[in-house]
Amino acid sequence: MPVDMRMLKSEFMSRVKCHLRSLKAEVIQPDESVKLAAQTTIERQNKMAILKIVKYPEAVLERAGDAVTEFDDDLKQLVSDMFETMYNAPGVGLAAPQVGVSKQVFVMDCSGGKDPQQKIAMINPKVLHTEGEYTAEEGCLSFPGIFFDVKRPMRAVVRAQDVNGKEFEVDGLELTARCMLHEKDHLDGVLFLQRTSPLKREMAKRRIRKLIKQGEW
């Protein structure tokens, strides 16, 4: 039987097109697990945010925060963003009023991100007990570049709620106690500026006014 070249050519082209369609389908439709992983990564990236840290003399810093009554996704997002902002600053503690949110929430990590057990969010905190005292230098993210020696209790026991509303207690010494009490002050509208002498306080305010006038604050 003689070979019909036209038929061979037609059959060959048909097979090529079919193969190309198969390859295209494989490229367009990736594995479901890959799509899910990519989507999860994007969602996490979108959820993380660096918040603006407000500086003295913003009024929100000297106003007591409202108690948290709803332990929802919005609260979890706020706490997540506060941690991200604190680490980015960098700092070891950050209170909600410092990001313009007048709520009884603060986050802390005295290890600077090295110890997961020290990454703590405290909601509606209450100081149950303090004892001893010692003096150490303190700074504040709302007072960049300003540091004072501040006398605080050596030990502090604080009860709070986590992001799900469950109560827990932290019994902290030295830096942990200092951090909890510094941030608790923020939630009560008390600034570390008020924990120093009137002379140092006035000197700091004068410096801040000068920096504001120069557009450097």
Sheet of 93-95, strands arranged across: 93-95, 105-108, 120-131, 155-161, 167-173
Kind and range of the H or E element at 7?
helix 5-28
Q: How far apart are the first and last CA of the chain?
A: 94
183 labelled catalytic: yes
How big, in percent rounded to 5, are the helix, strand and coil portions of the chain?
45, 20, 35
- Cα–Cα distance between 77 and 121 in angstroms, integer? 12
* 58: CB partners within 8 A, 6+ apart: 100, 142
**Hunting for tokens 């303090």 — which residue is that?**
130
Residue 102 identity (one-letter amino acid): S
* Count of CB atoms situated within 10 Å of the CB of 120: 21
- The single residue of 133, 169, 183, 216 carrying the catalytic annotation is 183
**Ramachandran angles phi, psi of 93, nearest 5°:** -155, 150
Write b or e for each residue in 40-49: b if 16 or more Cβ atoms lie within 10 A of its Cβ, otherwise e: eeeeeeeeee
Catalytic residues: 183
